[in-house]
Chains A and B, each alone.
Chain A
């Protein structure tokens, strides 16, 4: 299995006629995603890489039947409108790719999602990939490279950095460890599916036998993951790396989420908390694949003994 996205999920692309939407529509389909419709207001009737474009999401739903996922590529100031439109049309999973979405817009999207039983990944996400099945967003680039970097396997990958999501997956693949799903939760301070929500999905997925997490300074996501481990709500092995050791308090290194405010969200605090609850926190990024392999083997032995 995998989480959030697979071959069966029917995908809509909002903003499919733009530079990025157009390029990514093709790449997603090349990889195997089932893109069933596009939406750009005012462009009904256009066809992008064989996908029909509709004026509204509601119209796309009526014309094509069920839509499971909407991937949104419209400019940041228009994201709120596009997201609320998809949520109200009944789409249950949104992937909001663009950067620079105003935070109060995200809060409004979050409230609408909560009320309608919908979830969203991002904003500022590279997307989600379930190797060998489907991809939503920009992750992986071309199908050829995506097939080389990501392989099906037992590891769930979640990261607050987009490039690192791919990097971890690639290095795991080199080590012979494939992935169930790799997800970039988004680089912003407020995101729809933070790390502590993603682990719940990985917990529920039978094929995910362990999780590798790339955390960062700022926000409370890593601490919340630790809470879930402590409460027994996440029981699979976790290998983690926390980036941003060298960052000064108050300075932002690109990800809006990676701001240390006072002592909250500090590198030291996160590492300490994760270790307290038994997570395998590595100090060097390059150690991730080997530690992951060892942890997975040990977990296999234990379950074999029992």
Chain B
């Protein structure tokens, strides 16, 4: 889920008229010093990281002067917290707290409604409070079209023993929090603690907000770069992968790195699943054999070949892998030849130099296995393809054998497919790339297998060369599904004059 930092959440709270302490975000010790000076009071320096228990990790420090604020920021910036590097601190005025409360909103998957939760005890986690002091916690499921009126909010606080003016102030804060969560489509939002200061003001001393990944596109003002569930900022490769998904809605492509900085021989496998359930079992099969997962990738929901190709290229760009394992549910409803062609293009372009086992069971698996088989013999490393009757365990075992074998036998020789500048280029664009046909090559090509391979009938023969049979704009809009059938037919049965360019911005070659 797309998480916001404390200061981002507080900015929104403030817009919803919930008071927050005066503060500024700082990225350098000097900025922190300057912030403290402009606040003009003793401050608190808080590490901005998506982790709990920041205080006990040394990520929250008090400073009575601007000079101390700089030193505190110096100590906190760059700190490693549960795998999260701190790049920003929040410099905030110190507040005198009289009482602490809790207010939260979370989506209840059973009730299928948001639930608001309040507690007259704040500070620690709400789960612990609910266990140790159930009488001090009240909850309400919110009817989505009704929302949370102020009287509901006040009644909730009443249930945990709050009355009078304070009840009203806390009620307003709760309504503000709910409205913020609704507006920004939060999976969860928390003010913990929600405090009353010595001078009687209700204030949000902290804020945690997690926005629904699938709704991020509706909230460009939040500036969320990558809408993914991560407990740390996205890696450069994850950002590259996310862009692939962002510009192509066909099927799903999901990529996260589970490890970095590993080396060959340490047992890290590039993992490429299809479908969540089958992927989990397939990863378990690797773990059981002592391997480690470098990345988790999923291409499912009948993605086009171009998406699977880009996924494979991104996986293979990780250095230090010992093998490539693609395995999903085993009995997939998606058209498996799409995936097969994506793999073939990627493996041939990079000259696959780690053993790969591809388990592509399901709809059209015979075709898929045949396509992979065609390209397997020409690669530096061994590639094996399996179908629905071969279990993830069996396939993981095959991969292990191939890895052992390659250690002894080394790589096979490989001649990469050479791309000469086209003498008579014919080009057109597709949804996410472009196709170039060198008509000079087509003259000697008798069968024109590219035309026959195109099930979408976008190609026809004119003057003994393949040209578009459809309008350029129609082809670009999606008539060409980027199934890669023409390129593979041209390469294996034709004269090798057809190239499909599918750029992956910022991926190193």
> Which residues of A are interface residues toward B (Cβ below 8 A)?
19-20, 75-77, 99-104, 106-108, 110-111, 126, 138-142, 145, 149, 159-164, 166-167, 169-170, 187, 189-190, 194, 214, 216, 219-221, 224, 243-247, 250-259, 262, 285-286
Contacts and interface: CB of A to CB of B under 8 A. Distances in A.
A140 B332 CA distance: 8
B182 to A, nearest CB: 7
Interface stretch (B71-79, B107-115, B420-428): B107-115
B333 A141 contact: yes
Contacts of B254: 254
A167 B329 CA distance: 6
Contacts of B1: 259
26 contacts: A100-B213, A102-B214, A103-B187, A104-B144, A104-B212, A140-B363, A149-B331, A162-B329, A163-B331, A163-B362, A164-B275, A167-B329, A167-B331, A216-B277, A216-B280, A220-B109, A243-B277, A243-B280, A246-B284, A246-B287, A250-B231, A252-B228, A253-B283, A254-B298, A256-B214, A257-B109
Contacts of A100: 213-214, 252
B296 interface: yes
Q: Looking at B109, B284, B478, which has the most chain A CB atoms within 10 Å of its CB?
A: B109
A224 B112 CA distance: 14
A145 B368 CA distance: 14
B301 interface: yes
A268 B356 CA distance: 32
Nearest to A187: B276
A163 B187 contact: no
Nearest to A243: B280
B302 A20 contact: yes
Interface in B453-490: 478, 481
Nearest to B301: A99
Contacts of A216: 276-277, 280
Contacts of B182: 104
B388 interface: yes
Interface string B260-281: 0000000000000111111111
A306 B144 CA distance: 49
B364 interface: yes
B185 A102 contact: yes
Given A145-B363, A190-B109, A254 B279 contact: yes
A246 B278 contact: no
B144 to A, nearest CB: 5
A141 B284 contact: no
A162 B110 CA distance: 21
Interface string B134-155: 0000000001110000000000
Given A101-B214, A163-B333, A141 B362 contact: yes
A163 B277 contact: yes
B364 A141 contact: yes
Interface in B280-339: 280-281, 283-284, 287, 296, 298, 300-302, 328-335
Interface string B153-184: 00000000000000000000000000000100
Contact of A253 (B144, B228, B252, B276): B276
Interface string B181-216: 010010100000000000000000000000011110
Contacts of A103: 107, 185, 187, 212, 214-215
Given A140-B333, A159-B277, A107 B109 contact: no
Q: Which 8 A-B pairs have the closest CB atoms?
A: A163-B329, A161-B277, A141-B363, A163-B275, A254-B276, A255-B276, A164-B277, A102-B215
Nearest to B143: A111
A102 B478 CA distance: 25
Contacts of B388: 167, 170
B214 A253 contact: no
Most chain A CB within 10 A, of B254, B301, B331, is at B331
Nearest to B144: A107
B107 A166 contact: no
Given A77-B217, A107-B107, A163-B300, A243 B281 contact: yes
Contacts of B114: 107
B113 to A, nearest CB: 6
B302 A286 contact: no
Nearest to B329: A163
Given A19-B481, A111-B112, 17 more contacts: A77-B218, A103-B212, A107-B114, A110-B112, A111-B143, A138-B302, A142-B364, A145-B364, A161-B275, A161-B276, A162-B277, A164-B329, A170-B330, A190-B107, A252-B228, A253-B276, A254-B252
A192 B207 CA distance: 31
A254 B273 contact: yes
A110 B217 CA distance: 22
B374 interface: no
B391 interface: yes
Given A107-B144, A110-B112, A190-B112, A253 B332 contact: no
Given A102-B185, A163-B328, A19 B112 contact: no
A220 B333 contact: no
Contacts of A252: 228-229
Contacts of B506: none
Contacts of B287: 246
Contact of A189 (B109, B249, B276): B109
Contact of B250 (A19, A245, A286): A19
Interface string B95-117: 00000000000010110111000
Given A103-B187, A159-B277, A166 B329 contact: yes
Given A102-B215, A138-B302, A189-B109, A108 B144 contact: yes
Most chain B CB inside 10 Å of its own CB: which residue of A247, A256, A259: A256
B127 interface: yes
A83 B217 CA distance: 20
A67 B197 CA distance: 60
B92 to A, nearest CB: 27
B210 to A, nearest CB: 10
Contacts of A19: 250, 478, 481
A162 B107 contact: no
Contacts of A76: 214, 249
Contacts of B481: 19
Nearest to A169: B331
B333 A166 contact: yes
B228 to A, nearest CB: 8
A220 B363 CA distance: 32
A71 B213 CA distance: 24
Nearest to A144: B363
The residue in B214, B218, B335 that gathers the most chain A C-beta atoms within 10 A of its C-beta is B214
Contacts of B228: 252
Of B249, B277, B302, B332, most A-chain CB atoms within 10 Å: B277
